[in-house]
Amino acid sequence: MHSLLIVVAVVYGAAAGALVPRARYRLAVEPGEAWRSAGPCGHAVTGWVGAARCRACRGRYGPGALGPAAVTALVCGALAAAVGGRPELAVWLGAVPSAVVLAAVDWSVRRLPDVLTLPLAAGLAGLLGVAALIPGAEGSWPGALLGGLAMGGGYFALFLLHPAGMGFGDVKLAAGLGCALGWYGWPVVFLGAFAGLLLGSAYGLALLATRRAGRGTAMPLGPFMIAGAWLGLLAGARSGG
């Protein structure tokens, strides 16, 4: 049964990942710019779900679906393997596509759009409350809410201390990720938050070492925050919270 659940999660992840390129293309714009509503060919781009391909001329206007599908399948499969059939798995799987889009957009244009970060935080907080009512759940909804407040507050403090090195979108993303991590307890919150900062710092040091960036160069933190939270969830789920 567990193996079947993993297979279903992988298939779901691959299908969901194949549908995110259009949202990534439309949202990957500089701060202050409107979401993209046309492709390079000039034809209108409508909707948010699907391949990044023009419906009129069939030309591709963004990244392909293979990469996002593979990443999302891997992330979902690993979560299913760690969480098993517990109710919170549905919450994690539902959040993965938004997290993949956020990571891709931040990597491209150093931006974490409110249209994704705020619903992600609210959705995780609300759906975990529902999951807590279902028999078999192994987590704490109050812990999730406190984790969101703590991690969001921590990143807000970092933002105030060094606004040039961190965007406010990182603070909003941290609130949602903190909710997810807080479900499994404070050790998981610390682990996930620390892992994200560690991964981001390692990437920054690698850029400095290879002279691909200077000390004042802006870098995306969102993808590393999301990766750290994923690692924290895997650890928390395997330990039973």
Please write the tens of the pLDDT for every residue from 145-184.
999 999 999 999 999 988 777 889 999 999 999 999 999 9
- Whether residue 220 lies inside any domain: the answer is yes
Q: Alpha-carbon distance 39 to 55, whole Å?
A: 10
- Whether residue 197 lies inside any domain: the answer is yes
In the chain, DSSP assigns E strands to: none
- Whether residue 179 lies inside any domain: the answer is yes
- Whether residue 74 lies inside any domain: the answer is no
- Whether residue 42 lies inside any domain: the answer is no
- Whether residue 4 lies inside any domain: the answer is no
Q: What is the pLDDT of residues 56-70, one digit of tens each?
A: 777 777 777 889 999
Q: What is the pLDDT of residues 37-46, one digit of tens each?
A: 888 888 888 8
- Phi/psi of residue 129, nearest 5 degrees: -65, -40
What range defines the domain where residue 148 resides? Answer: 87-238
- Whether residue 41 lies inside any domain: the answer is no
Range in 15-29, 92-106, 160-174 the model is least confident about: 160-174
Q: What is the DSSP letter of 145?
A: H
In this model, does residue 237 exceed pLDDT 70?
Answer: yes
Tokens of 159: 């933002």
Q: How many folded domains does the chain comprise?
A: 1
Tokens of 88: 């919170």
Tokens of 16: 């969901």
- Whether residue 141 lies inside any domain: the answer is yes
Percentage of the chain surpassing pLDDT 70? 97
Name the residue among 108, 237, 220 with its Cα closest to residue 173: 220
pTM: 0.94
